[in-house]
Structures are given as structure tokens and as C-alpha cells.
Amino acid sequence: MAVIIDGKALAKKVRGNLKEECEELKKQGINPKLAVIMVGDNPASKVYVRNKNKACNEVGIEYEEHLLEETTTQEELNSLIKKLNDTKEVSGILLQSPVPKHLDINQAFKAITYRKDVDGFTPSSVGKLVIGEDTFVSCTPFGVMKMFEEYNIDLTGKDVVIIGRSNIVGKPLAQCCLAKNATVTVCHSKTKNLEEHTKRADILIAAIGKAKFVTKDMVKEGAVVIDVGINRTEEGKLVGDVDFEEVEKIASHITPVPGGVGPMTVAMLMNNVIKAAKEQSNEKSTF
């Protein structure tokens, strides 16, 4: 049976360390603050935003919400982002996705100044990640890398197969794994003979949003399996992209859903807000 990678426990540990760091920063007059923008009335987004608010309160990060109407225009959204860019008290800006279809979320991401891009989605952040410079790493990939570190999973020379090529998870996670000297294959909906790729993976990461898509016969015995997916069944149960009950029997390590990658995503967002606050403070001190 596999070792269960407990993201909930690790996230709690990370938040505890960040709380201590936040308290020290406040003694120096540095007050980390996160501004969250949500457009529309998406029920799932409300849950995610509530979790971020709760995490901020636990760590000691100031939090403010900007809830915009479904009919908000691109100009209005970009104008709010510019205002937050210019607000010295705000350390980090997070635009909750998805946004209504009439809005261009990539244009909005580009409007966020790199210095406050705690989600790691701006072209500057992504570019720095690709060339190996210090940057804000997207929170889900960052959380996965933290799990590898905590469970002493060495990526050097390992075959890592990622199913999913999204800008939020698949692509940045591939760069993170490359930086740790892994050999990385990114698979997607157009990949031929998917099982041939997954069966040779020392580390298999599923991030496609299809319930129980990865079955036991797709996984090599002894592989590390990371499940990034969050799907709700017709019965209302949360499940991942991996058939956990079956794959657990042959994997060496596996993340559950819920309680795996999800809590780490929020914890690493807190980490990025504190990183942003420190960097902005250092910039002020150089003038």
C-alpha cells in the first residue's frame, strides 16, 4: 500500500511557519496584505475565496475582497487592478478564475504588476520561471514541489509524466520538475498511446479535471502519483483524476482528494504574499 501524502497536515505546518514569519515582519512595520478580486457569482469560486480568507486570518495576513458584478467590463476590471497595483498597502493581487466569458482573463493577468503577482500567472513570472530566475511560482505547482521536498522524493533523473498542459498547472509544473533535473513528458488530449507514457513514469501527475481518469493499469508499480484534479460526482462526492482506491495498491506514494494538493495550493499562496511583502519592503528601503 502506498504512503499517503498528507497535504492537509503539511499545509498546516507551512501555515504555522508563515504565521511566525508574518509576526516578525509586523514587528518591523511590514504588514502583508492580499487583495482578491472575484467577478460574478460562481459558487465554486466563493468556496475558494472563503478558504483564502480563512488562511489569511490564520497566518496573520490582511485580507480585502473586491466582489464585482457579472456585467463588469474589461475596462472596469483593468481599472481596479491598476488601482491595486498603485496601492502601497496591498502586497499581492489575486484574480479569482473563472471570470465571465465576455472578459479576457489573460489581459487582466497582464495588467497585474509583476511585484504583486502572487498567483504567478503574469508573462513576467512565467518567463522568469522558464529561465530559472527567482519568481512567484504558481501556487499549485509550488505546493506539489513542496510535497516532494517534505517526503524526500528526489526528482533527479526520474521520468515525470504530467497529464494536462494548462497554464496554471501543467506547464509551470513541467518547468519546476525540469529545474529539479527530472526528464519531463507533458501529455494532453492529442497525445497518442497515453498509457505507454504513463506506464513508464516514475512520477505521474494528473491535472485534467476528469474523475478517476487514471486507472491502475495506467500506472507503473512503485510510482509516485500526484492527483491535482478536483471533481464532484453525481452523488456530490469530491474525487480526483485518479482512481485512488485501486492505484493506492500499487503506488509508492499517492495524494488523496480531498486533503492532498488542494490545501497546499492555498498555503503556497500565503507564502507568495509574504514573499511579495518582503520584496516590496526591500525595494522601499533602497530609495
Instruction: Point out the catalytic residue in the list 6, 33, 96, 171.
Output: 96
Question: Can you tell me the distance from the alpha carbon of 50 to that of 94, in angstroms, rounded to the nearest whole number?
Answer: 13
Told to judge if 52 belongs to the known catalytic residues of this protein, a careful annotator would answer yes
SS3 for 145? Answer: helix
Instruction: Point out the catalytic residue in the list 6, 116, 117, 119.
Output: 119
Told to judge if 107 belongs to the known catalytic residues of this protein, a careful annotator would answer no
How far apart are the two ends of the chain, measured CA to CA in Å?
57
The Cβ of residue 17 has, within 10 Å, a number of other Cβ atoms equal to 12
Instruction: Point out the catalytic residue in the list 33, 52, 171, 220.
Output: 52
Question: Can you tell me the distance from the alpha carbon of 37 to that of 31, in angstroms, rounded to the nearest whole number?
Answer: 20
| DSSP 8-state secondary structure symbol assigned to residue 200 | T
Told to judge if 13 belongs to the known catalytic residues of this protein, a careful annotator would answer no
Written in H, E and C, the secondary structure of 116-139 is HCCCCCCHHHHHHHHCCCCCCCCH
What is the β-pairing status of strands 231-232 and 238-239? antiparallel
Catalytic residue numbers?
52, 96, 119
